[in-house]
Amino acid sequence: MFRKFVMAAALVPLAIGMAACSKDDSSSSAPTPAPAAATSAPAMANGPFGAACTAVPKDGAGSFDGMAKDPVATAASNNPVLSTLVAAVKAAGLVDTLNGAKGITVFAPTNDAFAKIPKADLDAVLADKDKLTKILTYHVVGQTVTPSQLGTAGPFKTLQGGTVAASGSGADYMVGGTAKVVCGNVQTANATVYIIDTVLMPM
C-alpha cells in the first residue's frame, strides 16, 4: 500500500507538468496564424489602381479624396480626364439620375476613349438623346462591384437593361471584351468608378 501511494504521488506532479507544457505549447503557437490572416487581403482593395491614375489631380475636388466627397456625376465633372463623358451625361439629362443613385458602379470612358469614335458619329450620338441615354446607362451597373468581383463575378446587369461582362485580376481588367480599365476602384460618395479606355456599345 505504501509503495502504491508513493508511486501515485510521484505521478501527480508529472501529469501536472505535462498539462502545463501542453497549455504553454498551444498558447505560444496561437498567435502565429494572425499575421498571415492580416496580410491576406489584396492591397489594391484599399484604393485606386492602374497606370492612368497618375493623370488624376493630386489634390482638390478632382483628386481621389475630392471625388470621394461628391456624388458620381459631380465628382466626374471635377476630373479633367472625364470632361467628354460629363458633357455627354449633361446632354442626356442624366446628372440627377446618377447623382441620386445609391451603391452603383460606373465604367467611365476617358476623353481619349471618346476620341476613338469618328467625330461625325460622336456628334450624331450626342444629338440623339435616346441613343445617347442607352449608351451611357450601359456603362452603369446598379450594384457595387469590387475589383475581385470584377474579375470573377458577372455578367453585370446595367441600367440600360443589358449585361456587361468583365475579366481579369490584379491590376489588369477588361470590360465588355474591348475596354481596358486604366484606373480602377475610384470611389465617389455613391459609386465605385472604373475609368476605361474605350466606349462600350450596347448590343
Listed by start position, the domains of the chain span 2-38, 43-196
Tell me the percentage of the chain whose pLDDT exceeds 70.
78
User: Under CATH, what is the fold of the domain 43-196?
Assistant: FAS1 domain (2.30.180)
List the Cα angle 55/120/141 in 5-degree steps: 50
Pairwise CA distance, residues 142 & 145, whole Å: 9
Helices 119-127 and 83-92 sit at what angle, rounded to 10 degrees?
30
List the Cα angle 112/138/80 in 5-degree steps: 30
What is the per-residue pLDDT across 97-145, written as a single tens digit (0 to 9) for each? 999 999 999 999 999 999 999 999 999 999 999 999 999 999 999 999 9
Pairwise CA distance, residues 178 & 175, whole Å: 6
Pairwise CA distance, residues 40 & 31, whole Å: 16
Confidence (pTM): 0.76
Q: What is the DSSP code string of 17-79?
A: HHHHHHHHHHHHHTTTHHHHHHT-S-GGGGS-BSGGGGGS-SSSTTSHHHHTTS-HHHHHHT-
What is the per-residue pLDDT across 160-184, written as a single tens digit (0 to 9) for each? 999 999 999 888 999 999 999 999 9
Pairwise CA distance, residues 134 & 149, whole Å: 24
